[in-house]
Chains A and B, each alone.
Chain A
Amino acid sequence: MINRHPEPILWMLFSAGGVVSAMLMPALLLLFGVAYPLGWLAPPSHETMVAVLGNPLTGLVLFGLCVLSLFHFAHRFRHTLYDGLQIKHLNEVIALVSYGSAIVGSVIAAYLLWQVS
């Protein structure tokens, strides 16, 4: 009855990624991308970073953040190329590259977060 195409699950990943990235990224990016490099605030010591990142809960949250954000990016990027630039004839290739890179990124994220814990 429901047509078999992956849009529903891709959209749910996109939505979840949108919420998670909206909640976590501004603060993290402001701190690690702007405030610490410009010296507005002292960056955390290496010991603190190891302690925070070593916590399995942090690892889980960050893994969720990375995977969902990557799928959020993939879905939006693919739709924007399709609608914005009207590259319809390359639809399959773009979908493959977008979601493929999200999967690859998720695997790398899993590896790196496992390594630091």
Chain B
Amino acid sequence: MGERIRLQVARYRPEQESEATFDEYEVPCPKDWVVLDGLNHIKDRIDGTLAYRWSCRMGICGSCGMTVNGEPKLTCATFLADYAPGPVRVEPLRNFPVIRDLVVDIGDFMRKLVKIKPWIVRQAEKPLADGEYLQTPQELEEFKQYSMCINCMLCYAACPIYGLDPKFLGPAAIALAQRYNLDNRDDGAGARMATLSEHEGIWGCTFVGECTQVCPKHVDPAGAIQRYKLSAAVESMKSFFLPRGA
């Protein structure tokens, strides 16, 4: 295992060029360094013009998602030593427009997230005097997995359908919709159904399954989507054959 490793970092400087280029840097490679440490070393000591996002550096904020050697990864959770002797290719997250260097625009996801109403929707609000909602451990288990999403967008980068058709709602948005649909405090399944049942809602998904493979929080968005397909299809049948009072 070497003391240093080469990083090939994608650069995009829109004021100078219209295509991405690669700059190479050599950074130290102690065994506890992650790719993010390498990028911070570049920014602090070699090339301060490098632009990238990061925050918590511990895998909970979802800011530092990038493409490392072709795979979508959280750079704070990807050890440099695993790629020794290198070089390591660091590119911006796939399937999103690149603003500069390693920074992508995730506005599309943010708009889709709002559309699926990621909050508890109640038919009738419970007054404070009635106390808290009580939930058994089994009821929590139903949706807990989907609540683990940190909005890191690795699933969108891995999804070929999203890459080919940016109108597709996408794995994280649907998994988050399911997080609320399956929460027994929520009455909003009907309100979310219109967005989810669109042609580019859940029906755009062909179960490639890569989203589940790359998710750092084991959310299993692919499973969430397939489960919802069945309930949505049944609802569709009901609304077709029994238009009222289904």
Contacts and interface: CB of A to CB of B under 8 A. Distances in A.
Instruction: Tell me whether chain B's interface is mostly helix, strand or loop, or mixed.
Output: helix
Give chain B's interface residue range (CB within 8 Å of chain A).
Answer: 20 to 34
Contacts, number: 42
B161 A8 contact: no
A8 B236 contact: yes
A47 to B, nearest CB: 43
A47 B199 CA distance: 50
B233 interface: yes
Contact of B206 (A1, A15, A83): A83
B198 A3 contact: yes
B190 interface: yes
A79 B197 CA distance: 17
A7 B193 contact: no
Contact of A86 (B164, B190, B235, B237): B164
Nearest to B163: A83
Give chain A's interface residue range (CB within 8 Å of chain B).
Answer: 10 to 19
B199 A3 contact: yes
Given A1-B193, A2-B197, A2-B239, A8 B206 contact: no
B140 interface: no
B237 to A, nearest CB: 7
A36 interface: no
Closest 6 CB pairs of A and B: A8-B236, A7-B203, A8-B233, A12-B233, A2-B239, A2-B197
Given A2-B193, A5-B203, 16 more contacts: A1-B190, A2-B235, A2-B236, A7-B199, A8-B197, A8-B229, A8-B233, A8-B237, A9-B233, A9-B237, A11-B233, A12-B237, A83-B161, A83-B164, A83-B165, A83-B206
Interface of B: 160-161, 164-165, 190, 193-194, 197-199, 203, 206, 229-230, 232-233, 235-237, 239
